[in-house]
Chains A and B, each alone.
Chain A
Amino acid sequence: MSQINPINTVEDRPAITLLSDDDNTGSLEVASQWRLIWIKFRQNKVALFAGVVVLLFYVVAVFAEFLAPTLPSKSQPRLTYAPPQSIGFFVENEAGERAIQLHVNGYGMTVDPESLRRSFTVDKEVIIPVGFFVKGEPYELWGLIPMERHLIGPLNPKDSMNLLGTDKLGRDVLSRMIYGARVSMSIGLIGVFSSLLIGTVLGALSGYFGGWVDLAVQRLIEVISAMPTIPLWLGFAAAIPLTWSPLQVYFIITLIVSLLAWTGLAREVRGRFLSLRHEDFVTAAKLDGCTTKRVIFRHILPSLTSHILAVVTLAIPTMIVAETALSFLGIGLKAPVVSWGVLLQDAQNIRTISSAPWLLVWPAGAVVVVVLAFNFLGDGLRDAADPYEH
């Protein structure tokens, strides 16, 4: 018969062993949720690439002033609808030797004898030397820092370089696209932020409380998703007074776009809440005497963050397309604001498109690439959002 020593059986250590400094936190067993998500996301090469593309577009948007060869509003009356020039690397000097010199070719002009319309062709004989970090039109970076260096441009500021052609006023399409990226990409971000706010709050309330709150929110979502979106966007956007400043119009358009886009987000959040509200950790928090607010915001919402991030990523392209469509129809953003939709306004009739296809191809291409990239990125995030699932 063994003697039981009561002192030895008392648990003097915590039930869970805490991490000590020499534990390897990088290993899978003890990695944090976000680390697991990253590991899973990284395996999806397409999503990773799409993420890089999205990031690149935002970098372009942030440093628009520096990256654009010239100002978006600078018109060249002598070079309307000029075709794109391509960059060449070698030039031949008089002696027939080839030397490395970045350049574009100048333009030759022909006048149609009947319609008297001028048309421009790229003239291989004229060589305009081009360089990096050249001095060009002065600008203020972020409206603060006065600068005049551009990433790329003609060495002689009097020369003209239009890598993507020019529009009806002879403005450089590349520069306008780069400045347009700032407006178009930021509308997606700001819009998604406000619909995130509405969607999360309403979705959380409806999923957590259930009952009549749920019923009311669900009816509201049903009404909004039953309406065809474009007519509704048109209806709201057309009511914007013409006297408003471009900044006001920008924010109200963002608001309109996000007011109709929160429903998907609210649905997702509600669904997650419904499945989580009877989980043990929620019950435990309630038994601990946490307030409703604390249970929602401290216990349930953090475990949804990754899912919300995925849904948000998938909602951004919708907003970008919405802004583009509204501006294209002439009731969204208007000149002098430059966005991809405003650029596409110039490509509205078939005659313009057929004589200057670059006015359609580049802005439309940018929209499609961005939308594709966001979709792939969002799909990847959604797959990685729940790293514990098998």
Chain B
Amino acid sequence: MLGYIIQRVFLMVPTMLGISIISFIIIQLPPGDYLTSVLAAMADSDVTFTADQIARMRENYGLDEPMYMQYIQWIWGIVSRGDFGYSFEWNRPVSELIWERMGATLSISFLSLLFVWAVSLPIGIYSAVRRHSIGDHIATLFGFLGLAIPNFILALTLMYVSFRYFGQSVGGLYSPEFVEQAMSWPKFVDLLKHVWVPVVVIGTAGTAALIRILRANLTDELNKPYVLTARAKGLPEHTVILRYPVRIALNPFVSAIGWVLPQLISGITITAIVLNLPTAGPLLLRALVAQDMYLAGSFILLMGVLTLVGMLLSDILLALLDPRIRFH
């Protein structure tokens, strides 16, 4: 098992490298570099430099070196010192800005994953056991709708519906009166009132996909002889279904982390912008629009790394569940 984990981690390295290169390219894409931004900020406060001084500063910052050296310096700063660069819009190091936001992104994504599991498991089992029943058709229809409606349109619609018909504003994570307060029971209840909207919005597509997969897998399993044997032995129907075929059909639930997580993180980015949540999304958009590239690039890098870690976890869990994978 340990050997399998080490092999997986080792395979992750090139992917991680690729993700960091893409993030670095995004940082470098807009015209100008670190120094251009510094000089622009200085010029605002009436400090000007001679060409000679500028050239010396370029050298100091390592900006006259070739691109790959700059990349190595950037990545080395992150790995060795946790230094993600400097945000010009906020006048603070990027590392001070990102962690709280990434934490919120991760928590909401995780909640959504739980939501996806909790909803798709019973519906998937029901659809497979009662195939072509009315309930199955309704689930299929909702599944198709869930896959077809883009996250931000669903968020806007939910916002409109809850504003129009329930008179409740659903933006943000807290009502205005709770934002500045310390955590307390009423504040927690208020959080629950708000957090369900993004969780449902970004979880819908994943739920729909997982229901379809579970239904297909379980249908295959239900026709196998061991199910017939279990029935012939006289086991109650729910034991027959839950104890054997469902356990096997559960594998996609674990491997789902690998492909649902990028979807969730992608979804939370745009949903958070619409609903104005304090996660990475709105800050990323703002940074990109202001061309505050180190901040933006760090978010993109961390989101990529986050999904990669999720995939690793799902691989390991899957190997724990299914010995065939370990010995393959």
A and B from one complex: yes
Q: How large is the interface on B (under 10, 10 to 19, 20 to 34, 35 or more residues)?
A: 35 or more
Q: If A219-B18, A329-B273, A367-B153 touch, does A228 touch B304 (CB 8 Å cutoff)? A: yes
Q: If A223-B19, A236-B26, A238-B296 touch, does A228 touch B307 (CB 8 Å cutoff)? A: yes
List 27 A-B residue pairs with CB atoms under 8 Å apart, sorted by A's residue number: A219-B15, A222-B15, A223-B15, A225-B262, A226-B19, A226-B304, A226-B307, A227-B307, A229-B266, A230-B269, A231-B300, A232-B26, A234-B288, A236-B26, A239-B30, A325-B270, A329-B285, A330-B289, A348-B274, A353-B156, A353-B159, A367-B150, A368-B150, A368-B153, A371-B148, A371-B150, A372-B148
B19 in contact with A325 (CB, 8 Å): no
B18 in contact with A223 (CB, 8 Å): yes
B152 in contact with A234 (CB, 8 Å): no
Listed in ascending order, the chain A residues whose CB lies under 8 Å from chain B are 219-220, 222-223, 225-232, 234-236, 238-239, 241, 317, 321, 324-325, 328-331, 344, 347-348, 350, 353-354, 357, 360, 364, 367-368, 371-372, 375-376
Whether B160 sits at the interface, judged by CB under 8 Å, is yes
Q: Is the interface of B mostly helix, strand, loop or mixed?
A: helix
Q: Which residue of A lies closest to B162 (CB)?
A: A350
A375 in contact with B304 (CB, 8 Å): no
Contact digits for B267-290, partner A, Cβ 8 Å, 1 yes 0 no = 101100110000000001100110
Task: Report the Cα distance A207→B263, complex, angstroms.
Answer: 27
Q: Name the B residues within 8 Å of A230 (CB-CB).
A: 266-267, 269-270
**Interface set, chain B 28-80, CB cutoff 8 A to A:** 29-31
Which one, B150, B159, B288, B304, contacts A321 given CB within 8 A? B150
Whether B164 sits at the interface, judged by CB under 8 Å, is yes
Which one, B171, B288, B307, contacts A235 given CB within 8 A? B288
Q: Name the B residues within 8 Å of A364 (CB-CB).
A: 153, 156-157
Which one, A226, A229, A347, A375, contacts B308 given CB within 8 A? A226
Q: Name the B residues within 8 Å of A328 (CB-CB).
A: 152
Of A228, A231, A360, most B-chain CB atoms within 10 Å: A231
Whether B22 sits at the interface, judged by CB under 8 Å, is yes
Task: Report the number of A-B residue pairs with Cβ-Cβ less than 8 Å.
Answer: 127
Listed in ascending order, the chain B residues whose CB lies under 8 Å from chain A are 14-15, 18-19, 22-23, 26, 29-31, 144-145, 147-150, 152-153, 156-157, 159-160, 163-164, 169, 171, 262-263, 265-267, 269-270, 273-274, 284-285, 288-289, 291, 296-297, 299-300, 303-304, 307-308, 311
A235 in contact with B311 (CB, 8 Å): no
Q: Name the A residues within 8 Å of B300 (CB-CB).
A: 227, 231-232, 235
A234 in contact with B262 (CB, 8 Å): no
Q: Name the A residues within 8 Å of B307 (CB-CB).
A: 226-228
Task: Report the Cα distance A320→B117, complex, angstroms.
Answer: 28
Q: How far is the CB of A313 from chain B (nearest CB, A)?
A: 14
Task: Report the Cα distance A354→B162, complex, angstroms.
Answer: 11
Q: If A239-B30, A324-B150, A350-B171 touch, does A226 touch B288 (CB 8 Å cutoff)? A: no
A331 in contact with B289 (CB, 8 Å): yes
Task: Report the Cα distance A222→B262, complex, angstroms.
Answer: 12
Q: Name the A residues within 8 Å of B150 (CB-CB).
A: 321, 324-325, 367-368, 371
Q: How far is the CB of B197 from chain A (nearest CB, A)?
A: 12
